[in-house]
C-alpha cells in the first residue's frame, strides 16, 4: 500500500519506517530541510534504538523515501498519516496549527480518495477540525473528492518505539467510514497475525483514549511519588510497599516506581492538555491538576534532600550528575527532571559535572554557555572523581551495578542521592556509602 507520513519526529519516522519494513511504499514528508538532509544522507535526526537499521534497510530496498515536496507527498499515498508536533500553548492546550496546516495541504493537493489519519496526540474534536479544513480547501478548488478522517493514536514508548510499533498490544482506530476502516485493517494486518488487536471506535473516543492512557500512567507515577514521600516521613520503605501492592493483580507492577518525577514529550503535555480540555467542557479535572502539581514538586525533592545534607548554599561543592535524558534509551530532555535539578544546584552555587550515554549533545544544545559551572564527562566515573556527592537522575542500565568501592573512593565524600532507587540501602551501608533514596527508610 502507498502511504504518506507527514512529520519525521519520533512518531512519524518510527511509523513510516516500520510500515515500510512490512512491504508498504512509504514517503515521509517534513518541511524541515535539515531533517530530510540527515535522512537522505543515511542518518536519523533522533535517537531511538533499532530505528537507524530499519530506515537504512528500507531506503536501500526502495520502500522508504523522504521529501520536502508537499504536492508530491499528498499525491503519493492513499493513506495520509499526520504525525506532526502538538506543542502546549500558553494556556496548556495543544497547539493544532501544524496538524491543521497538514490537513489543508492534503485538501489543496489531493486528486483522489484519501484516508487522513491523525497519528499526532490531539484533543477531542480535532478530527472534526481536520475534516473541515480539508473540506474548505476542496471547496476553494471547486473539487468534489471523497475522503475520510481517522484517529489512530500512537502508544509508543521512547526508547522502545520500534518494538511497540512492530508488536502492539492494541491498535486503536477511530472511524465511521467503512472503506477507511477496511484500509486500516489491511494496513495493520501484518502487525496482528497472532490475534485481532485492532479496536474500532468513534473518532472522539479514540482521541480521548490516548489522553486517558497517558493521564492514567502519569497518575500512577505521581501517586507512588506521594506515597514515597509519606513513607520516608513515617519510616517505611516504598520499595517494600511497591512489592506489596504490585502483587495485587488489580493493580499490577507497571509504573509503580517512585522517583524524581516524570518528563518527556508526552506525559507533561498531555496531562496539561487534558486538564484544559476539561476546563473548556466545564469539567474541573481535580485529580489531574494534583498529578501535575505533585510531579513538579517531585522534581525538586532530590534538591531538598541535598539542601538538608549540605545546607542552603553549595558554594565550593561539586556534584556528579548521572543521567540527563528524561528516561533511558533516548536523548530526549524535554521536561526532564535533570534540567530542574541541574539548574537548582547551579543556582545555589555548586559546580555540576554531568554524564549521560546519549543525551550530552542535547544538553549542550539546551544549556549552551549560560551556566559556566556546568561541565560534562565522557565516562560516569570521570564525573564522580573528586565530587562531593553523586546524584542519579536517569536509570540507565550502565548505572545499575557499578563497582561501589571505586565509586566510594572516587567521591570526595561518599554520598549518593539516588533519584531512581537503583540501589539497595543495606548494600550501600556495607560499602560505607551514605545513601539517600526516594522513600527509603
The residues that are catalytic are 266
- Pair 134, 149: CB distance under 8 Å: yes
CA-to-CA distance for 431 and 425, rounded, in angstroms? 10
> CA angle at residue 124 from 119 to 129, to 5 degrees?
75
In angstroms, how far apart are the furthest CA atoms of the chain? Answer: 78
Residue ranges of E strands in 63-217: 64-67, 79-82, 114-118, 147-151, 171-174, 198-201
- Pair 144, 179: CB distance under 8 Å: no
Closest by CA to 66, choosing from 154, 152, 7, is 7
CA-to-CA distance for 9 and 3, rounded, in angstroms? 17
3-state secondary structure 64-83: EEEECCHHHHHHHCCEEEEC
- Pair 406, 387: CB distance under 8 Å: no
Amino acid at each position: 500500500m502507498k502511504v504518506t507520513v507527514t512529520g519525521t519526529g519520533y512518531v512519524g519516522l518510527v511509523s513510516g519506517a516500520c510500515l515500510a519494513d512490512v512491504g508498504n511504499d512509504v514517503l515521509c514528508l517534513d518541511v524541515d530541510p535539515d531533517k530530510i538532509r540527515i535522512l537522505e544522507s543515511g542518518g536519523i535526526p533522533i535517537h531511538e534504538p533499532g530505528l537507524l537499521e530499519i530506515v537504512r534497510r528500507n531506503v536501500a530496498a526502495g520502500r522508504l523515501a523522504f521529501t520536502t515536496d508537499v504536492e508530491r507527498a499528498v499525491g503519493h499515498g492513499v493513506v495520509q498519516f499526520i504525525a506532526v508536533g502538538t506543542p502546549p500553548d500558553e494556556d496548556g492546550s495543544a497547539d493544532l496549527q501544524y496538524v491543521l496546516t497538514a490537513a489543508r495541504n492534503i485538501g489543496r493537493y489531493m486528486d483522489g480518495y484519501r484516508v487522513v489519519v491523525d497519528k499526532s496526540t490531539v484533543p477531542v474534536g480535532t478530527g472534526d477540525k481536520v475534516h473541515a479544513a480539508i473540506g474548505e480547501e476542496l471547496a476553494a478548488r471547486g473539487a468534489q473528492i471523497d475522503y475520510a478522517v481517522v484517529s489512530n493514536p500512537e502508544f509508543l514508548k521512547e526508547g522502545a518505539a520500534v518494538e511497540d510499533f512492530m508488536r502492539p498490544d492494541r491498535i486503536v482506530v477511530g472511524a465511521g467510514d467503512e472503506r477507511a476502516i477496511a484500509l486500516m485493517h489491511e494496513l495493520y494486518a501484518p502487525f496482528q497475525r497472532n490475534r485481532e488487536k485492532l479496536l474500532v471506535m468513534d473518532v472522539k473516543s479514540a482521541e480521548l483514549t490516548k489522553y486517558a492512557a497517558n493521564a492514567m500512567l502519569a497518575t500512577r507515577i505521581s501517586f507512588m511519588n506521594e506515597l514515597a514521600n509519606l513513607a520516608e516521613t513515617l519510616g517505611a520503605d516504598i520499595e517494600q510497599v511497591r512489592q506489596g501492592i504490585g502483587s495485587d493483580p488489580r493493580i499490577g507492577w507497571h509504573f509503580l516506581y517512585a522517583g524524581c518525577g516524570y518528563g518527556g514529550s508526552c506525559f507533561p503535555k498531555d496531562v496539561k492538555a487534558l486538564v484544559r480540555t476539561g476546563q473548556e467542557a466545564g469539567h474541573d479535572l481535580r485529580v489531574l491538576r494534583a498529578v501535575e502539581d505533585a510531579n513538579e514538586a517531585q522534581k525538586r525533592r532530590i534538591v531538598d534532600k541535598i539542601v538538608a545534607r549540605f545546607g542552603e548554599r553549595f558554594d565550593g561543592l561539586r556534584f556528579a550528575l548521572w543521567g540527563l535524558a528524561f528516561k533511558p534509551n533516548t536523548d530526549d530532555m524535554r521536561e526532564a527532571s535533570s534540567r530542574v535539578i541541574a539548574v537548582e544546584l547551579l543556582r545555589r552555587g555548586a559546580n555540576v559535572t554531568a554524564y549521560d550515554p546519549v543525551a550530552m549533545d542535547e544538553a549542550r544544545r539546551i544549556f549552551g554557555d549560560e551556566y559556566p559551572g556546568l561541565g560534562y564527562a565522557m565516562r560516569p566515573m570521570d564525573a564522580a572523581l573528586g565530587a562531593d556527592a553523586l546524584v542519579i537522575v536517569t536509570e540507565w542500565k550502565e548505572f545499575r551495578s557499578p563497582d561501589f568501592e571505586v565509586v566510594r573512593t572516587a567521591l570526595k565524600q561518599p554520598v549518593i542521592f539516588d533519584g531512581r532507587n537503583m540501589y539497595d540501602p543495606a548494600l550501600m551501608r556495607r560499602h560505607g556509602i551514605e545513601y539517600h533514596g526516594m522513600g527509603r527508610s
